[in-house]
């Protein structure tokens, strides 16, 4: 076995959280879809796909290192949001929380001198900077636009697509 049972258990917990994030992002996408904000909905649908990919990357790592795969129960996502700001705030909170979770996984890998896991987890650490910045900027734009001007946020997203 190339991974300790303790680290495998912590990664299994993270797999559950990543799948939970996928469900939460689907719920946020539905919030915007119901308000006919298609680009905001699309952004969160894509984010849901990304969270699923993150979970599956962890699954593959466990399989590759001969760790035991035990995906935990997934908590139901928050079904509704009071407004766009609350939805974006939930996304930013998730990304901030997951940054701490990935850091804890890295700390465990460092403590165990598991260099394979450290190399694997470094990708997630780098990814979290991007994710936190993306959600932080989106929340800022939503706050500046206000609930009545969410079409401006949609225009912002078009601008990002064109610049990207």
Residue 161 has pLDDT above 90, yes or no: no
Q: pLDDT, tens digit, for every residue of 16-45?
A: 999 999 999 999 999 999 999 999 999 999
- CA torsion 36-40-46-51 (nearest 10°) is -120
CA distance 47 to 42: 8
* Per-chain mean pLDDT for the chain: 97
* Residue showing tokens 């500046």: 144
CA 117 to each of CA 17, 24, 62, 124, 147: distance values in angstroms, whole numbers, following the listed order: 18, 27, 10, 11, 43
Q: Is residue 102 very low, low, confident or very high in pLDDT (cuts 50, 70, 90)?
A: very high
For the chain, list the domains and their CATH numbers: 5-163 (1.20.1260.10)
Nearest to residue 69, comparing CAs of 79, 53, 58?
A: 58
Residue 50 has pLDDT above 90, yes or no: yes
* CA of residue 19 relative to chain centroid, distance: 9
pLDDT at position 160 is 87
Joined together, the tokens standing for residue 20 give 């939970």
Residue 1 has pLDDT above 90, yes or no: no
The model's pTM: 0.94
Q: pLDDT, tens digit, for every residue of 67-86?
A: 999 999 999 999 999 999 99
């Amino acid at each position: 076995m190339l991974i300790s049972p303790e680290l495998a258990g912590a990664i299994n917990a993270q797999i559950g959280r990543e799948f939970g994030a996928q469900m939460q992002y689907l719920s946020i996408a539905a919030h915007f879809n119901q308000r006919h904000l298609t680009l905001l909905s699309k952004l969160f649908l894509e984010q849901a796909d990304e969270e699923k990919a993150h979970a599956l990357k962890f699954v593959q790592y466990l399989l590759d290192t001969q760790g035991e795969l035990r995906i935990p129960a997934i908590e139901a996502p928050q079904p509704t949001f009071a407004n766009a700001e609350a939805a974006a705030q939930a996304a930013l909170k998730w990304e901030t929380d997951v940054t701490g979770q990935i850091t804890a996984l890295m700390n465990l890998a460092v403590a165990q001198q598991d260099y394979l896991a450290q190399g694997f987890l470094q990708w997630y650490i780098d990814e979290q900077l991007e994710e936190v910045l993306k959600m932080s900027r989106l929340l800022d734009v939503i706050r500046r636009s206000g609930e009545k001007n969410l079409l401006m946020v949609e225009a912002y997203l078009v601008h990002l697509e064109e610049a990207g």
